[in-house]
């Protein structure tokens, strides 16, 4: 297991962010570091060079589908900083194809990465949060888990599953001082939309009341707020951040 760590700072609150090497995950990692959090993150590949060795950062190369690797990662974070105050389930993959044309392996990988892996990570993090009777969890869903979009049926199913997890888990752990919410981003200007044709992007922009694609920093800001004291009386909710696309 590769590691990229920085100096310990036990005074800061500790957040675990899955899939923190690019896109929205990287934006969340940066936002939390900038606002004083200690951040532990992992991905399957190397961390981006521009993140650099920073204070209050812990990174490992972890396959989130590996239950033992996830347990070890959370245990390392707990040993390093003594607590886990927040978890952001961001890591995910997407395959675009009609369900009748999708390969069985692709469907299995989608469910393993987008549903099973967050469940395993959440279970491991909760066991640490329960020690201090408090914590915050944010699951990153998607608007395609709420509206029909052609060609992403399997991916949509995995994101809808995260919203179901959010509602049920909020009831399970609320009395223990743990809040659970979700964020459902719309179309963002990221690698996932980078393969779109100009016509496809123009169609999305026309349908969006704010007339543009979203930026990862705008969603990261909502996630950071949900982890903050300002959202202390909010749990079991999904916040849609899509420029009005689904309104």
pLDDT of residue 216: 96
Which one from 155, 187, 239, 245 is the annotated catalytic residue? 155
pLDDT of residue 8: 44
145-202 pLDDT, tens digit per residue, is: 999 888 999 999 999 999 999 999 999 999 999 999 999 999 998 766 667 788 888 9
Rounded average pLDDT over 26-34:
94
Distance of CA 116 to the CA centre of its chain: 14
pLDDT of residue 9: 44
pLDDT class for 4, splitting at 50, 70, 90? low
% pLDDT > 90, the chain: 79
Domains, the chain, with CATH or none: 3-241 (3.40.50.720)
Q: Based on the residue annotation, tell me whether 187 is a catalytic residue of this protein.
A: no
DSSP string, 82-113: S---EEEE-------S-GGG--HHHHHHHHII
- The C-alpha atoms of residue 172 and residue 180 are separated, in whole angstroms, by 10
pLDDT class for 6, splitting at 50, 70, 90? very low
Beta-bridge partner residues of 138: 88, 181
Please check the confidence at residue 2 and state whether its pLDDT lies above 80. no
Please check the confidence at residue 11 and state whether its pLDDT lies above 80. no
Please check the confidence at residue 109 and state whether its pLDDT lies above 70. yes
């Amino acid at each position: 297991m590769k590691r990229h760590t920085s100096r310990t700072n036990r005074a800061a609150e500790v957040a675990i962010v899955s899939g923190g090497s690019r896109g929205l995950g990287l934006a969340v990692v940066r936002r939390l570091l900038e606002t004083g959090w200690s951040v532990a993150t992992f991905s399957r590949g190397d961390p981006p060079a521009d993140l650099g060795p920073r204070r209050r950062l812990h990174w490992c190369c972890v396959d989130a589908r590996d239950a033992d690797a996830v347990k070890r990662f959370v245990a390392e974070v707990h040993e390093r900083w003594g607590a886990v105050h927040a978890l952001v389930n961001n890591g995910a993959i997407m395959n675009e194809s009609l369900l009748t044309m999708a390969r069985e392996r692709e469907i299995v990988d989608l469910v393993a990465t987008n549903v099973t892996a967050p469940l395993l990570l959440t279970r491991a993090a909760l066991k640490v949060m329960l020690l201090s009777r408090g914590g915050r969890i944010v699951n990153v869903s998607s608007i395609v888990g709420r509206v029909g979009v052609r060609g992403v049926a399997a991916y949509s199913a995995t994101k809808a599953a995260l919203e179901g997890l959010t509602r049920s888990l909020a009831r399970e752990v609320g009395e223990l001082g743990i809040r659970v919410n979700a964020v459902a981003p719309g179309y963002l200007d990221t690698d996932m939309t980078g393969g779109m044709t100009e016509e496809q992007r123009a169609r999305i922009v026309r349908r969006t009341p704010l007339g543009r694609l979203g930026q990862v920093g705008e969603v990261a800001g909502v996630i950071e707020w949900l982890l903050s004291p300002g959202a202390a009386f909010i749990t079991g909710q999904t916040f849609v951040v899509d420029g009005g696309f689904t309104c």
